[in-house]
A = this chain, B = another copy of it.
Amino acid sequence: MSGSMSGKVLVAQGGGPTAVINQSMVGAVLESRKFRNVEKVYGAFHGVRGIVDEDFLDLTQETTHNLEMVAQTPSSALGSTRDKPDLKYCQEVFKVLKAHEISYFFYIGGNDSSDTVRIVSEQASSAGYPLRCIHIPKTIDNDLMVTDHCPGYPSAARFVAQSFMGANLDNWALPGVYVGVVMGRHAGFLTAAAALGKKFPDDGPHLIYMPERTFVIDNFLADVKATMEKYGRCVIAVSEGIHDEAGVPIALKLAKEVERDAHGNVQLSGTGALADLLCDEIKSKLGIKRVRGDTFGYLQRSFVGCVSDVDQREAREVGEKAVQYAMWGDRDGSVTIHRTGFYSVDYHLTPLIDIAGKTKVMPDEFIADSGTDVTDAFRMYLRPLLGSKMPDAYRLRQNRVPKILGV
Pairwise interchain contact A173-B56, C-beta atoms closer than 8 A: no
* Residue A354, interface by CB 8 Å: no
Chain A 369-407 near chain B by CB (<8 Å), digits 1 or 0: 000000000000000000000011111111111011110
> For A173, what are the chain B residues with a Cβ–Cβ distance below 8 Å?
13, 17, 46, 75-76, 79-80
Closest B residue, CB atoms, query A95: B405
Pairwise interchain contact B302-A292, C-beta atoms closer than 8 A: no
* Residue A228, interface by CB 8 Å: no
Chain A 81-102 near chain B by CB (<8 Å), digits 1 or 0: 1100000000000011001100
Pairwise interchain contact B165-A304, C-beta atoms closer than 8 A: yes
Closest B residue, CB atoms, query A44: B401
Given contacts A271-B279, A301-B170, contact A397 B66 (CB under 8 A): yes
Q: Which of B170, B271, B298 contacts A170 (CB 8 A)?
A: B298
Pairwise interchain contact A166-B270, C-beta atoms closer than 8 A: no
Given contacts A172-B75, A393-B73, contact A56 B400 (CB under 8 A): yes
Q: Please name 16 further chain A to chain B contacts, defined as beta carbons within 8 Å, in addition to the given A66-B397, A163-B304, A292-B298, sorted by A numbering.
A: A13-B173, A17-B169, A61-B397, A67-B396, A69-B394, A166-B298, A170-B301, A269-B292, A270-B293, A271-B272, A271-B279, A272-B272, A292-B297, A295-B295, A304-B393, A305-B306
* Chain A interface (Cβ < 8 Å from any Cβ of B): 13, 16-17, 42-43, 46, 53-54, 56-59, 61-63, 66-67, 69-70, 72-82, 95-96, 99-100, 162-163, 165-167, 169-170, 172-174, 178, 197, 259, 269-273, 275-276, 279, 289, 291-299, 301-306, 391-401, 403-406
Going nearest first, the 9 A-B pairs with the smallest beta carbon separation are A272-B272, A270-B292, A75-B169, A294-B297, A166-B302, A56-B401, A69-B394, A170-B302, A61-B399
